């Protein structure tokens, strides 16, 4: 610190702040892109599954929340209680940032 001038320290601090902001924007953009891609994959899978059901003559109509009663399933792992953080995160949901 003794060998650095105030101007040099200020420049380094501003550069670090700028770099941090850049990383933040890149992270937000990447996260949103990944979420959109995942949603598109889910939509494509959903549309594919339901288009197959419509072509089948033996398809029956039932509410989506009761699918486990009518379709075969396999329990892969037992449920574990949610942690407080997970409960708060689920309740809060994910909102789109104001700057995008």
Cβ of 58: how many Cβ atoms within 10 Å?
A: 5
Side-chain half-sphere CA neighbours of 17 within 13 A: 6
Q: What is the pLDDT of residues 54-76, one digit of tens each?
A: 544 455 677 777 777 777 878 78
Residue in 39, 59, 37, 63 with CA at minimum distance from that of residue 50: 59
Residue in 16, 12, 14 with CA at minimum distance from that of residue 24: 16
100 within 8 A of 29, measured Cβ to Cβ: yes
Task: Give the chain's domain count.
Answer: 1
Would 59 be classed as within a structural domain? no
Would 26 be classed as within a structural domain? yes
Q: What is the pTM of this model?
A: 0.38
Would 98 be classed as within a structural domain? no
**pLDDT value, residue 53:** 52
What is the 8-class DSSP label of residue 81? Answer: P
The residue range of the domain holding 40 is 2-54+67-92
Would 79 be classed as within a structural domain? yes
Q: Could you identify the residue written with the tokens 């399933």?
A: 73
How would residue 100 be classed by pLDDT, with cut points 50, 70 and 90?
Answer: very low
């Amino acid at each position: 610190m003794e060998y650095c001038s105030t101007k040099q320290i200020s420049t380094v601090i501003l550069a670090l702040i700028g770099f941090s902001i850049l990383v933040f924007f890149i992270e937000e953009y990447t996260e949103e892109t990944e979420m959109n891609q995942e949603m598109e994959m889910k939509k494509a899978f959903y549309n594919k599954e339901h288009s197959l059901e419509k072509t089948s003559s033996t398809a029956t109509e039932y509410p989506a929340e009761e699918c486990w009663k009518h379709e075969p399933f396999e329990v892969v792992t037992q449920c574990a209680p949610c942690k407080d953080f997970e409960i708060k995160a689920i309740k809060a949901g994910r909102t789109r940032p104001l700057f995008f």
